[in-house]
Amino acid sequence: MADIIVPALQQAINLITSGDPEVYATVYRTIYVAGLGTLLACLWSIPIAVFLGLYNFRGKWVIKGIFNALMGIPTVALGLLLFLLFSRQGELGFMNLLFTLNGIAIGEAILVTPIIVSFTANALGSADSQLRDLARTLGASGFRTNLTLIRETIWSIVLSLTASFNRCFGELGIASLVGGSILGETRVLTTSIAIWTNFGDFSLAMAYGIILMAIVVVLALIVSLIERLRNEDMGLNRLIFWGGLGGR
């Protein structure tokens, strides 16, 4: 094992320091599809989460249960479904999204939608029971109360978005099936690892894996920092905010 890891680590360092344009392009494409996928998911996920978290209606638990279940959807199955939809014979073939970065991003946006919806809705639901009565006691309107609850859970929303980006960043099934792993076009870090493993070049595959893991670790540290800032600032921000709310 060491005879693979040590050369792979050396090769990973060489790939990064040599300025290989394909390596940097692969990292860029990975960040692009993960970032775009997360942003697209926000467009519909956050409004759905706010509605589920702040309002009660019949069948709400069913919808939340569906989103919770979809968090474990196999990426290969979703990638296959999107491949069929985006192919020329598919219903969405006219959009020419197959074997494109934008097609991968759309697939990853669908993938992380349940994560954003479930985490954000649960955070809002938990804050709802604790803060809604206090907001009304201080004379806040319904709209103002909802804004208060959203602000109180903003850190949880940020954490869900960071987790979603991380999920997109390390995704393989959609990137392989929808993107096709075309060299110089749609090949990302995860598909590069799979390709070089299939070719038997384990050192190069491990080198790309080390680069992938290094970026994932950085993202994990960012999440930890966000959580720490949240815990340190929550008391002060809440005191300031509720003081301002009571003065209205």
Q: What is the pLDDT of residues 30-84, one digit of tens each?
A: 999 999 999 999 999 999 999 998 888 888 999 999 999 999 899 999 999 999 9
Whole-model pTM? 0.85
Domain ranges of the chain: 2-246
Q: What is the token pair recorded at 192?
A: 């590069």
Residue 219 binned pLDDT confidence (cut-offs 50, 70, 90): confident
Can you give the pLDDT at residue 186?
95
Query: Would you say domain 2-246 falls under CATH 3.20.20.80?
Result: no
With contact defined as beta carbons under 8 Å apart, do 99 and 180 qualify?
yes
- 8 A C-beta contact, residue 31 and residue 218: no
* Cβ contact 161:155 at 8 Å: no
